Structure formats: structure tokens, C-alpha cells
Amino acid sequence: MSEGGGEAGAKAAAVDEVGGMPSTAESTRDGTTVKDAEAKAERDAWLPRWLVAHPLYAGWAWTLLWAGLIVLDEVLDLAGWTWYLLVLVAALPTLISTLVVLHATPRSHLRAVDATVLGHFFVRFLALVAAFMVWAASVVMSASISTTVQSVIGDSEKEVTALGFNLMLAAVPLVLSVLWMAFIVRCAWFLRRLRGWRQVPVKTRVPKKFLRGRPRLKRVVVGLAHPGLLLVAGLGTSLLALFVDAVELTLNVLE
């Protein structure tokens, strides 16, 4: 009995040295977890209920509001750079949510295990066709611009060079807009694979540890990181602003 009691006492002492009695440690951890969860829930209490319930609808309303301001900016003929700011603000909520979700998701979660060989080659084929169309359009535009410059300026080398630099500066917004739209399309493609098209997806590939213990904030972020909303807010408003302002800017430089 004494030896058994000594072994039991030794085990108890060992447990105390490692981290205390198991029951006490477990209860402490449970209490800490509950307190942490309550603290995180209090941090998300500022989120409105309507936003938590319908994050996608809130995103659509925000996008339509700023799209209307883009049109109003063209009607009032404000500064030329304002449409960049309006497009960025229109896409800001869904863009930030998208970047947060994509940053928190490892690339291994997007393995194309369900992709077929035909789908793989078809996507590459479409990419090659798009690249060829862009190249052909650039060749035609270069020839047209060269002819226009020669007819307007004549043989003056300095004036031709100056106009060429002005055209390059005028093309910078167009190039940035195209790159921006390509970035938006790529992000929307990954979002579709990550969370689908539902406002509040039932099953996603987003890591479970993402915003763990903060369900209200996670619902809003994942709801705003919607591929359709991102396409309309980022791509749609860019096309709108591009057609109402950037083309006019290029024509003014040519004149």
C-alpha cells in the first residue's frame, strides 16, 4: 500500500510540475476559451444586423451608389482623375474582403482535382485566342496612330516625338485599367472555386481557422468576397468609367 501510495504521489507531483492537475487545466482552458469567445463576440457587436444577415445585398447597394456617382462625375465634368477614385471606392468593400480571403487561403486548397484534361486545354486555348486578339488590336492601333500623327504633324521630328510621348501618357490610364480588369477577373475566378455563388455558402474551401471565433465578421467578409459582386464592382465600373472618360481623353490628345 505504501509503495502504491508513493507511486501515486510521484505521478501527482509530476503532473503538477508539467502544468497542474488535468481537470483544473482543462477547466482553465475551457474558461479561457469561453472568455476569448465572448471577447471576440463583443468586438463584432458593432456590425449591424442587416449587414450580417445580407452582406451581398449591402455590397450591391454600395456598388450601384458609386456607379451612379461615376455617371454624375461625367455629367458634371469634374477632374479627370476622379473616376479612378470612384472606381476604387466602388470596389473597395468586395476587393478588401477578396484579398483577405485569398490571403488566408493556401494554394493547396485550390488544387484542380475535379478539372478535366479537356477543360485544362480549353482554358489555355481561350487564353491564346485572347492574346492574339490583343496583339492584332495593338498592331492596328499602332498603324492608325502612326498615320494620324504623320497627317497632323508632317515631317517635323520634334513635334512627332512630342506627340508620341503625349500619346504614351494618354495610354497609361488605358493600360492600367486593362491590367486592373485582368486582376479582377483572376480574383473572381479563384473566388468562384473557393466559395461558389451563394450569398452565404454552405460549404467552402476557405480554411476553418479563418476568423475562428468571430462568425459575424466571417459571414460579412465571405459574403462580400463574392465573384459576381467583384466582377460588377471592379470590372463593370471600370468599363463604365473607361468608356465615358478615357476614350474622350485620348481623342482630345489627338486633336
Per-10-residue mean pLDDT, the chain, length 255 = 43 33 41 56 77 91 88 72 80 91 81 68 87 87 77 73 78 79 88 86 83 86 92 82 58 50
* pLDDT confidence of residue 41: 56
Joined together, the cell numbers standing for residue 15 give 503532473
What's the sign of the alpha-carbon dihedral 164, 166, 169, 171? Answer: negative
* pLDDT confidence of residue 124: 86
Which helix (H) or strand (E) segment holds residue 53: the answer is: helix 49-53
Angle between helices 157-195 and 117-153 (to 10 degrees): 160
- Verdict on whether the full-model pTM lies above 0.85: no
* pLDDT confidence of residue 37: 55
